[in-house]
Amino acid sequence: MTMPLHGHCLCGAVKFTATPKSMIMDVCHCSMCRRWSGGTFMGVDCGGSVKVEDESALGVYHSSDWGERCFCRNCGTTLFWRMRQGPPHVVVAAQAFDDVSRFSFDLEIFIEEQPPNYAFANKTKRMTGAEFIASVTKK
Ligand SMILES: [Zn+2]
Ligand SMILES: [Zn+2]
């Protein structure tokens, strides 16, 4: 059993708690995540467990028919990717948690969109977008 973990944005206007489904952090190389996060998006799947202290501080951008991206309206910190429909499914930006070192970095996704000018040295499982989507939709 994992306990709710605490996190916040750069300015502190958004404070949240979330209970990760597992202590695994994945990296998404897709072009939208890279543009949105200014790097690669390091995410932790937190299911429906995310609780935000002050929802009014949260900006929401509908980035596709199925997903939306949440950020702090004041400081712009990248915070959550979440499903717009279906059961609550929120992927929290790993770096927004207070203690990032607890997560293991085991998975890279959308590798077909990874630019050739960087690579992580971690030993990870690498999946294409199609492989990743198939793996999450079949359970
Ligand atoms: Zn903020
Ligand atoms: Zn992505």
pLDDT tens, position by position, 66-123: 899 999 999 999 999 999 999 999 999 999 999 999 999 999 999 999 999 999 999 9
Confidence (pLDDT) at 138: 72
Q: Name the pTM for this structure.
A: 0.94
Q: How far is the CA of 15 from the centre of ligand 1 (A)?
A: 9
Query: Is 36 contained in some domain?
Result: yes
Q: How far is the CA of 3 from the centre of ligand 1 (A)?
A: 24
Query: Is 39 contained in some domain?
Result: yes
Query: Is 137 contained in some domain?
Result: no
Query: Is 96 contained in some domain?
Result: yes
Q: How far is the CA of 58 from the centre of ligand 1 (A)?
A: 9
Q: How many domains does the chain have?
A: 1
Query: Is 1 contained in some domain?
Result: no
Closest-CA residue to 17 (of 67, 80, 61): 80
* pLDDT at residue 35 greater than cutoff 60: yes
Q: How far is the CA of 78 from the centre of ligand 1 (A)?
A: 9
- For residue 22, the domain's CATH number is 2.170.150.70
Confidence (pLDDT) at 81: 97
Residues measured by CB to lie within 5 Å of ligand 2, the ion: 28, 30, 33
* pLDDT at residue 139 greater than cutoff 60: no
Percentage of residues of the chain with pLDDT beyond 70: 98
**What is the domain range of residue 85?**
10-113
